[in-house]
Amino acid sequence: MHTLSRKLNQFYPLEDYNWQTHCLDVTQLPLKDFQGKHLVIIAGVGGDLMMRFIDTIIKNHPNTDIDFLLCPVHHQFALRKLLRSYQFSLKQESLIEENKRFYEILLVSNQSNKNAEISPTGKAIWQADSKQQAVICQNYLEKTLAHYQRIELGGNNLASEAIKAYKTQLFNDQQGKPTPFKFHLKIK
């Protein structure tokens, strides 16, 4: 915690920025004690645990303006489904690859905005702006679909829903026309 505070102070000095660090159970954050908008960062845990954290935070702070910066290790589809059920809005999303692992990074708000709905499978993460990013998108899609197809073999309804959503979202817009992606997708 000391190292984090030192780095934050180095790049974001308290004279110019207003920040604090806390080391405690994320569900016990004392958000009510502080005015204004909050940013809660949750990363490095599975989407299932992340969903429990978010659910508890929202129930503990129903009228608090909160942005969440999320980087789930697994269960991205289920997490997005929960965020949609709470009518969260999407501020930004990215897809990165590091050490042969893929990460979806979501910046969302608990303030609803119909113009920024969260997609069950993501939208901006599939918009590659370079050949390298197109390869990352392609590899992530193949890995994600293979993952859900394995799970579907066990009769998991959420996996079936995820497969359908990825195929529908990625290949068709609302009118059933092909979606213009900047990279070529191959689905078996």
Tens of pLDDT, residues 52-80:
999 999 999 999 999 999 999 999 999 99
Burial label for 64, CB within 10 Å (0-12, 13-18, 19+), is: middle
- State the residue for tokens 């990825």: 166
Whole-prediction pTM? 0.81
What domains sit in the chain, N to C, each tagged with a CATH number?
2-118 (3.40.50.150), 125-188 (no CATH)
What torsion do the CA atoms of 40, 45, 48, 49 make, to the nearest 10 degrees? -60
Check if the beta carbon of residue 81 is closer than 8 Å to that of residue 55: no
What pLDDT is stored for residue 172 in this prediction?
Answer: 55
Quote the strand ranges of the chain, DSSP E: 38-43, 66-71, 89-98, 101-109
Burial label for 148, CB within 10 Å (0-12, 13-18, 19+), is: buried
What pLDDT is stored for residue 169 in this prediction?
Answer: 64
What is the pLDDT tens value at each position of the chain, 188 positions in all? 788 888 888 888 888 988 887 788 888 888 988 889 999 999 999 989 999 999 999 999 999 999 999 999 999 999 999 999 999 999 999 999 999 999 999 999 999 888 899 999 998 998 888 889 989 998 999 899 999 999 999 999 999 999 998 887 666 544 455 544 444 444 44
How far is residue 125's CA from residue 43's CA, in Å, rounded to a whole number? 18
